[in-house]
Structure 1
Amino acid sequence: MTDVAGVAFRRVGLPEVSLHVAEAGPESGPPTILLHGFPEFWYGWRHQIGPLSEAGLRLVVPDQRGYGLSDKPQGVAAYHLDTLAADVIALAEAYGFATIRLVGHDWGGLVAWWTASHYPDRIARLAILNAPHPGVVGSYIRRHPGQWLRSSYVGLFQLPVLPERLLTAGRCRALRHALTSSSRPGAFAPSDLDRYIEAWLQPGAMTGMLNWYRALAQLPRTEPPRVRVPTLILWGKQDTALQPGLAEASLDLCDDGRIAWYPQATHWLAHEEPAAVNTALRDFLA
């Protein structure tokens, strides 16, 4: 997996897991960690890595635990948001980064929100792509039944074994369809999907990926911590899974935040409108 220009790979040992990490950009540049979502891996940032590294950012782009070539610990508890956020800080410490710029999409965005909320002194800037703050999801769904319908697949993912079988059958036919049917035409080329299939079929990967959803049910219903760091939310309004109101509810938790809307983009805006997304991220992060 070395066909993204300027990318090097390394294995980084953390206290609990070992992560497969893609790296790019000058070592002296502002440290920036990019967190992918479900069901992607580091390759989900393929359109951003070149432009952001050329802008001078030092990029660290992991396969998060349970994904791709990274470790896949057993048990739902290993995928609690507190643990996933701790991975981000441990990864920064492994590189010697005192503070980082943090970017997350989808599940990576939930982790980024959680990390910035609980480790504000370690985060210089936060950028989120189509991902709500975990602390607002429950109350928002209770007020907006339409979002509950959009999120109903999460209930299926709570079941043991069956979701893994459904999602890996036929070379992951269901996941391939989920990506292509929820995105604009051309967002995922056949060659891209081949890369995803390879990652999804890694031993233990599908269970690890689904355990992120299973662990979300363990979050306590407490008042979410505010986000004190400068925050940019990028949101594709045609997202079939997440209503735009989730972006606004998340912004309400930010002391210093703003939203950039992409009216024609879906959940996969980084793939659909890479030039606009890259410009927004570069201007905010560099």
Structure 2
Amino acid sequence: MHGFPEFSYGWRKQMPFFAAQGYYVWAPDSRGHNLSDKPRGAAAYTLDKLAADVVGLIDAAGVERADVVGHDWGGAVAWKLGADHADRLRKLVVLNAPYSGVMLRKLRQDPAQRKRSWYMFYFQLPWLPECTSRRNDWQMLTNMLRRSSLPGTFSDEEIAEYKRAWSLPGAYTGMLGWYRAMRYGMGRGKQEASGGPRTAPVQPPTLLLWGAQDRFLGRELAQESIAKCANGRLEFLEDATHWLHHERPEQVNQRILAFLTQPA
């Protein structure tokens, strides 16, 4: 499951590798992105609905359980699956994405994280993000990708593929729907922050890979998120950023493979 502002193309350095290992690999365009449906309204993009989409894909594959890998927003969906649909997962892999309750609590309590995550609030505004992001041939999103990654991570040809997907009718508003739906999850975050009911622990065996140079998400988010797991392992890639699967594909692929092939 990919994140923002990507689509299935974001897994181009992982899919051939795992297919060659004998895995049946699906990398969908998530709801609102590229060629997938783009329902209107933020309520269509809650984590409950996004997780249900993945359960539907597992059903369509004709299997009881699957290994799920998610990055960024796709990682948030993966965490949701691990908490609420553990019976449909064999193993869970998350790349640079905090558990949603941890993230929401940090946004409320930590000014430094709010500063890092300014864009999450900006993208929730009506109509303005659509206008500013499209200016100068998607310069804002292009700069976001390139300035937050290691030099040379995203080529001109790869950026052109992203621009094509962003420009599809309704796609960018659909992509922003994920941020605009955050208000539907704030209640749970408030409960956790005030010591109220906790979300369910994540039961499936979980690997959390984290590019330590992430400029958006603080390292402590990884440490607090792995504590939500009944059987979790946290591994840092010290020389990678938020885009670790693009920057260090060989390391990421091998670490995921080692985890998936290890007896549960």
Using the TM superposition, name which of 49-58 and 126-135 deviates more.
49-58
Q: What does the per-residue CA deviation read over 1:104-138, in whole Å, with 9 as the maximum and x for residues that have no partner?
A: 00000000000111000001000000000101112
Q: What does 1:222-261 align with in structure 2 at a 5 Å threshold?
A: 222=191, 223-261=198-236
Q: What does 1:20-31 align with in structure 2 at a 5 Å threshold?
A: none
Structure 1 residue matching 2:90: 3-state secondary structure: strand
State percent identity of aligned pairs: 46
Amino acid at match of 2:200: P
Greater strand proportion: 1
Give, in whole Å, the separation in 2 of the partners of 1:142 and 1:69.
34
> TM-score under structure 2 normalisation?
0.93
Structure 2 residue matching 1:260: 3-state secondary structure: strand
Match of 1:20 in 2: none
Q: What does 1:82-161 align with in structure 2 at a 5 Å threshold?
A: 82-161=48-127
Match of 2:15 in 1: 49
Using the TM superposition, name which of 138-147 and 262-271 deviates more.
138-147
Displacement of 1:282 in angstroms is: 1.1
Q: What does 1:173-192 align with in structure 2 at a 5 Å threshold?
A: 173-192=139-158
CA contact (8 A) 1:136 1:224 kept: no
Match of 2:130 in 1: 164
| Structure 1: unaligned runs, 5 residues or longer | 1-34
Match of 1:274 in 2: 249
Give, in whole Å, the separation in 2 of the partners of 1:168 and 1:80.
25
CA contact (8 A) 1:63 1:70 kept: yes
| Structure 2: unaligned runs, 5 residues or longer | 192-197
Match of 1:212 in 2: 178
Structure 2 residue matching 1:127: 3-state secondary structure: strand
Match of 1:15 in 2: none
Give, in whole Å, the separation in 1 of the partners of 2:109 and 2:255.
31
Structure 2 residue matching 1:153: 3-state secondary structure: helix
Match of 2:25 in 1: 59
Using the TM superposition, name which of 218-227 and 63-72 deviates more.
218-227
Q: What does the per-residue CA deviation read over 1:209-251, in whole Å, with 9 as the maximum and x for residues that have no partner?
A: 0010010121122422210110000000100100011111101
CA contact (8 A) 1:37 1:105 kept: yes
Displacement of 1:139 in angstroms is: 1.8
Give, in whole Å, the separation in 2 of the partners of 1:281 and 1:171.
35
Amino acid at match of 1:257: G
Taking only aligned residues, the RMSD between alpha carbons, in angstroms, comes to 0.9
